[in-house]
Structure 1
Amino acid sequence: MESGIDVRVIETSSLGDRSYLANDGEAALVVDPQRDVDRIIALAGRLGTRITHVVETHIHNDYVSGGLELCRLTGATYAMAAADHVAFQRTPLSDGDLLEVSPRMRVRAVATPGHTFHHLAYVLEGPDGTEGVFTGGSLLFGTTGRTDLLGREHAEALARRQHASAHRLADLLPEGAQVWPTHGFGGFCSAARAEGGTSTVGRERERNPALRLAADEFVAHTLAGLDTYPAYYAHMGVTNLAGPEPVDLRPPAVADPHHLRLRLAAGEWVVDLRNRKAYARAHLAGTVSLALDGPMATWLGWLIDWGAPLTLLGQSADEVARAQRDLVRIGIDRVAAAATGTPEQMAAEPGQVRSTDTADFADLAAALEGRVPDGLPEPGAVLDVRLGREWEGSHVAGAVHIPLPELSRRVDEVPEGAVWVHCGGGYRATAAASLLARVGRRVVVVDDDFATAADQGVPVTASA
């Protein structure tokens, strides 16, 4: 490496987050590490560098941090906001503090409250001057971090501070400085989904609402866009302040068909990780569909009673291992049991294997007109399990709206008869159908893209 600093992205797409490793060829800085730190250590090994410093932009509310464990394993210095009172030793940083990573690389802390009260951004400086800024949940790609995670009562005040923080960064840094956010790639910590894979301060000046709108307009825009967020977030900040325990990714106990039947009979959470189409074709009665090819950990963490026994079903041991890794990132550390194979191989008796009816929006349009497709039941209700902002944008006329996270406790509100359930693309609808089937309801999954519903003849309306 002749000059400059190499910044590597460590993607956690299942949670919509990024961590970073900045390396000058000898020393490395890690920013906002996820809990499964083995992949970060492996990256440093491949690059031939030594991790000497780990920094947090804020106390995370959407995942369990790996910072403490990474420092235990590498001996790195662990730094974060001095104003965040944690139960472990760390290097406290305040606005303007400089952290010397190596003779050729340093970061400067910049107070950027908004996503949290004590949020810090880190300006990365190398031999050629400013390289960019690690913005955490402050300035994201085309948006900013949401401001309500510490309570709706703080959302407006924090939105105003978020606006001021974005302007501070834009005024402080050159237009060509890279922007490296932690949030905004599909999770619930950003006010909106990020746009694109890279950005600079100059580009954000052109497109980011925080830099284009006046403060009052930005606050109104931000607050209007906030929707609900996963229930498990309530546990993340507490865990990160206390200091997370080391990760244990050893395989769980193997559940044979007899034990699976007992767990299902007891009403425990037995989660099928296969894709939703495979689930619809055949699954064990009583299992919940949360496929590994979607945001499984987010929805499971949102739906499950925290601490409840959990069993995972996958096609292979690799699928179960991938699911475990996703789950420890949100603090679900103990999987009671697991099984692999086909539903037929997992069943203690043939009657346990079931299928789920599926349809598309053209089928639903026909059914609503009284032309029910062969083999499908007449709809007693159309159930929309999308979140509130999605419903308000547009929905099937006459549909019942119960967001997926609320379905288990509101199942009595679902009208009698067969339930045709949909979401935006099919993932959540399949999960919802599995929850309804557990309580004996007849279901049809509309496994289709909601954006095409009107074109296929479904009557669609917008909320008033």
Structure 2
Amino acid sequence: MIEIIGIDTPSLGDRSYLVGDGETAFVVDPQRDIDRVLHLAARRGLRITDVFETHIHNDYVTGGLALARATGAAYHVNVADPVSFERAPIEDGDVVEVGPHMRVRALATPGHTFTHLSYVLEVPGRVPAVFTGGSLLYGSTGRPDLLGPAHTGELVKRQHASAHRLAAVLPDEAEIYPTHGFGSFCSATQADASRSTIGREKQVNPVLTRDEQAYVEELLAGLDAYPAYYAHMGPANTAGPGAPDLTPPATADPAEVRARIEAGEWVVDLRSRTAFAAGHVTGSLNFGIDGGFATYLGWLIPWGTPLTLLGETADQVAEAQRELVRIGIDRVEAAATGTPEQWAGAAPLGTFPRASFGELAAVRHHRQVTVIDVRRDLEWAHNHIDGALHVPLQDLLRRLGDVPAGEVWVHCQAGYRAAIAASVLAAAGRRVVAVDDEFDRAAPAGLPMAVG
């Protein structure tokens, strides 16, 4: 019996796959921390013989090469990809026999990248399954703009053609297994579906329900910023990343924590935004492990900046370290666990208030405050508080000088990004209030709204 096991990485919005027949298995688009795959295979008694990459990934460092080396599997990467390691080259139309029961056929589906491949699993007596990577997603497609604006126009048309190719060569009941689309910035839009078929996508996916021009216009109009660390993923994956080192970092005492902050290094507090606001090491930054930790830290941190982690427990630090290696931040200089009082030593803790949109509305009736909206451009254009200053979170560090003097209230859509921004502003010595509330409550609270 064929089993397709999804291995989710919710923090990055991606899904890898382990596919087995009871004895033999293959893997599609594995994440960097391959121990998850090895554990699942061992638990099921599966021998991994093949690893397939749908494309050179832009949003994470692959574990494909490390997994192939660890298992002796063949590592299938498009023959056209200019990688600097040994691989089993594969191209459109090639068929790989995986054990005695499974056949995997490669289909060229360019659009997310020029060399993107999808893989069709063909088993006698079973409905085909297609692993679509960043091509056809649930209700969407992969972004066509990650290789730069010079290629976007061509790639978006190829994405449309590739989706129609899949729809033409596969039966309606064929199951779709994408890598992106579960919150990943590699997806053009987000959908709520957790599974789908070619037939369903023909009914609901704009790439299959719109003509090419309408699809292109709609998709391009919906693209917004994507994380800055993406620029480092392609080169890392082309060079051939090895297995990550998840050895716990050295322990930092209060003097070292303070020295690292004063040296301009990043000291990151992994606790919840509520705990951070109530008391933190002055100068530290809050990227809670309970939210989009790796995405936003990787987006904001100047690449290569030394990093120290502060967590309530060793498990919290280990989780953060695992998240970081997935985006190529392999080295954590130091870490400390416990409480902010333990990390700060004799130094006083920093604090700042948290508030709701109702409290912001009340304050604006009595005194002048600066409101900063750190959401992305499309969010701002759809609706925003009239009179707010728009500084997307990813731009805040370089635009600190644009923030007027005085009291600053910062908000986003639901509170996580506002907490990051508030920690950045507090570290810069600003008097800040973090709005920890859902943006949908801003207008009912009496705050005037604007669009555009």
Deviation at 1:379, TM superposition (A): 4.6
Deviation at 1:129, TM superposition (A): 4.2
Q: Secondary structure at the match of 2:398?
A: helix
- 1:441 pairs, out of 427, 430, 447, with 430
- Distance in 2, matches of 1:158 and 1:171, equals 20
- Distance in 1, matches of 2:292 and 2:137, equals 21
**For each residue in 1:105-138, what CA deviation from the matched residue of structure 2 results, as whole angstroms up to 9, or x when unmatched?**
0110000000000100001111214431000000
For the pair 1:355 / 2:333, whether they are aligned, the reply is no
For the pair 1:286 / 2:283, whether they are aligned, the reply is yes
- 1:451 pairs, out of 424, 440, 445, with 440
**Where in structure 1 do 4 or more consecutive aligned residues deviate above 3 Å?**
none
User: Which residue in 1 is equivalent to 2:262?
Assistant: 265
For the pair 1:180 / 2:177, whether they are aligned, the reply is yes
Q: Secondary structure at the match of 2:69?
A: helix
Q: Secondary structure at the match of 1:189?
A: coil
**1:44-63 residue pairs with structure 2 within 5 A?**
44-63=41-60
User: What amino acid sits opposite 1:396 in the alignment?
Assistant: I
Q: Confirm or deny: 8 A CA contact 2:33 2:243 kept in the other structure.
A: no
For the pair 1:403 / 2:400, whether they are aligned, the reply is no
- Distance in 2, matches of 1:162 and 1:433, equals 39
**1:68-87 residue pairs with structure 2 within 5 A?**
68-87=65-84
- Distance in 2, matches of 1:338 and 1:272, equals 10
- Distance in 1, matches of 2:48 and 2:245, equals 22
- Distance in 1, matches of 2:402 and 2:236, equals 35
**1:42-191 residue pairs with structure 2 within 5 A?**
42-191=39-188
**For each residue in 1:83-108, what CA deviation from the matched residue of structure 2 results, as whole angstroms up to 9, or x when unmatched?**
11110111111111101111210110
User: What amino acid sits opposite 2:395 in the alignment?
Assistant: E
**For each residue in 1:235-286, what CA deviation from the matched residue of structure 2 results, as whole angstroms up to 9, or x when unmatched?**
0000000111221000001001111111122221000000111111111110
For the pair 1:307 / 2:304, whether they are aligned, the reply is yes
For the pair 1:7 / 2:4, whether they are aligned, the reply is yes
After alignment, is 67-76 or 195-204 more displaced? 195-204
- Distance in 1, matches of 2:82 and 2:16, equals 23
**For each residue in 1:372-392, what CA deviation from the matched residue of structure 2 results, as whole angstroms up to 9, or x when unmatched?**
xxxxxx453100000111101
User: What amino acid sits opposite 1:176 in the alignment?
Assistant: E
Instruction: State how many pairs are aligned.
Output: 452
User: What amino acid sits opposite 1:174 in the alignment?
Assistant: P
**For each residue in 1:291-311, what CA deviation from the matched residue of structure 2 results, as whole angstroms up to 9, or x when unmatched?**
000010111111111111100
Q: Confirm or deny: 8 A CA contact 1:297 1:330 kept in the other structure.
A: yes
- Distance in 2, matches of 1:350 and 1:259, equals 13
- Distance in 2, matches of 1:283 and 1:363, equals 23
Q: Secondary structure at the match of 1:454?
A: coil
- Distance in 1, matches of 2:107 and 2:161, equals 12
Q: Confirm or deny: 8 A CA contact 2:32 2:64 kept in the other structure.
A: yes
Deviation at 1:195, TM superposition (A): 2.5
Ranges in structure 2 where 5+ consecutive residues have no aligned partner: none
- Distance in 1, matches of 2:323 and 2:231, equals 18
Q: Secondary structure at the match of 1:283?
A: coil
User: Which residue in 2 is equivalent to 1:203?
Assistant: 200
Closer/same/farther in 2, CA of residues 48 and 416 from structure 1, 3 Å limit: same
Deviation at 1:141, TM superposition (A): 0.4
- Distance in 1, matches of 2:263 and 2:235, equals 31
- Distance in 2, matches of 1:437 and 1:141, equals 40
**1:218-297 residue pairs with structure 2 within 5 A?**
218-297=215-294
Percent of residue pairs bearing the same amino acid type: 59
Q: Secondary structure at the match of 2:199?
A: helix
User: Which residue in 1 is equivalent to 2:409?
Assistant: 420
Deviation at 1:22, TM superposition (A): 0.6
Ranges in structure 1 where 5+ consecutive residues have no aligned partner: 371-377
Q: Secondary structure at the match of 1:21?
A: strand
Deviation at 1:325, TM superposition (A): 0.2
**For each residue in 1:196-245, what CA deviation from the matched residue of structure 2 results, as whole angstroms up to 9, or x when unmatched?**
11111111011000000000000101111111111110100000001112
User: Which residue in 2 is equivalent to 1:336?
Assistant: 333
Deviation at 1:453, TM superposition (A): 1.0
TM-score by length of 2: 0.99
Q: Confirm or deny: 8 A CA contact 1:115 1:147 kept in the other structure.
A: yes
Q: Confirm or deny: 8 A CA contact 2:17 2:30 kept in the other structure.
A: yes
User: Which residue in 2 is equivalent to 1:374?
Assistant: none
Q: Confirm or deny: 8 A CA contact 1:380 1:416 kept in the other structure.
A: no
Q: Confirm or deny: 8 A CA contact 1:379 1:420 kept in the other structure.
A: no
Instruction: Quote the RMSD (CA, aligned, Å).
Output: 0.9
Q: Secondary structure at the match of 1:84?
A: coil
After alignment, is 257-266 or 324-333 more displaced? 257-266
- Distance in 2, matches of 1:456 and 1:166, equals 44
- Distance in 2, matches of 1:457 and 1:170, equals 49
Closer/same/farther in 2, CA of residues 130 and 97 from structure 1, 3 Å limit: farther
- 2:362 pairs, out of 366, 383, 386, with 366
**For each residue in 1:173-212, what CA deviation from the matched residue of structure 2 results, as whole angstroms up to 9, or x when unmatched?**
1111110000011121000113211111111011000000
- Distance in 2, matches of 1:127 and 1:280, equals 58
Q: Confirm or deny: 8 A CA contact 1:379 1:419 kept in the other structure.
A: no
User: What amino acid sits opposite 1:232 in the alignment?
Assistant: Y
- Distance in 1, matches of 2:173 and 2:127, equals 9
- Distance in 2, matches of 1:434 and 1:247, equals 29
Q: Confirm or deny: 8 A CA contact 2:277 2:352 kept in the other structure.
A: yes
- Distance in 1, matches of 2:287 and 2:125, equals 48
